Amino acid sequence: MKKAIIGKKLGMTQLFDQRGNVIPVTAVEAGPCVVTQVKTVENDGYKAFQYGFGEIKASKVNKPMAGHFKKNDVAPKKVLREFRLDGDANVGDIIKADVFEVGEAVDVVGVSKGKGTAGVIKRWNFARLKETHGTGPVHRHPGSQGACSSPSRVFKGTKGAGRLGCERVTVQNLEIVKIDAENNIIAIKGAIPGPKGGIVMIADSVKA
């Protein structure tokens, strides 16, 4: 990767291109981010840059993190993320939305919306059982999942009901439609993971 930034999802809206076509976009408050740490091959075994995003009171930072910020002489930040990027940067450098350009392809990483405990139909797209001829009140149940005699159990990993969502999701090759450098807002074509206010990471696409 050559460049990346941390942002906060603001929500979805729509823009119009020069021909009047509607483009659904997600607005992201991207940055400003501060380089809070630089990792090198000599000291850490690999090259990476740690970015900080979002303001937080110093009184709300625990002692280990306070020492981390004090060591690098940067103000405390609410969110820290690490990126393995090409190029050079120094501690204290500011990364803003204008690091990207309109028309670029980016990958967006976020945590999807949590939907709680869900059944097999919603979670895995199972088909319903028939609702007539004595099926009983089990129309949305998964049905038989293991033989009775051998192996007399349900194998681990079998699809079933359980927690849905709230997992790390990457959406690739999304197009940047508009950049508001003054307000650090990036409009990305399409939907991205997470709820409004969720933290996302934007980086140049690995497949473009």
Is residue 147 assigned to a domain? no
Residue 49: inside a domain: yes
Give the integer Cα–Cα distance in Å for 196 and 192: 10
Please answer whether residues 97 and 31 qualify as being in contact, where contact means their C-beta atoms are separated by less than 8 angstroms: yes
Element (H, E) at 50: strand 48-55
Domain encompassing residue 90: 4-115+163-204
pLDDT surpassing 80 at residue 208 = no
Q: Are 203 and 3 in contact (CB under 8 A)?
A: yes
pLDDT one-digit tens code per residue, 97-156: 888 999 899 999 999 999 999 999 999 999 988 888 888 888 889 888 888 888 888 999
CATH number of the domain at 37, please. Answer: 2.40.30.10
**Per-residue pLDDT reduced to its tens digit, 23-49:** 999 999 997 999 998 888 998 899 999
Question: 106 in a domain, yes or no?
Answer: yes
Residue 136, in any domain of the structure: no
**Token pair 């501060």: residue:** 34
Dihedral, CA of residue 150, residue 153, residue 159 and residue 161, to nearest 10: 150
Answer whether residue 141 is part of any domain. Answer: no
Q: Are 98 and 179 in contact (CB under 8 A)?
A: yes
| Side-chain half-sphere exposure of 92, counting CA atoms within 13 A | 5
**Dist. CA 191–CA 41, nearest whole Å:** 36
Count of structural domains within the chain:
1
Residue 150 within any structural domain of the chain: no
Residues 76 and 63: their CA atoms lie apart, in Å, by 11
- Cα separation, 92 vs 78, whole angstroms: 16
* pTM (two decimals): 0.83
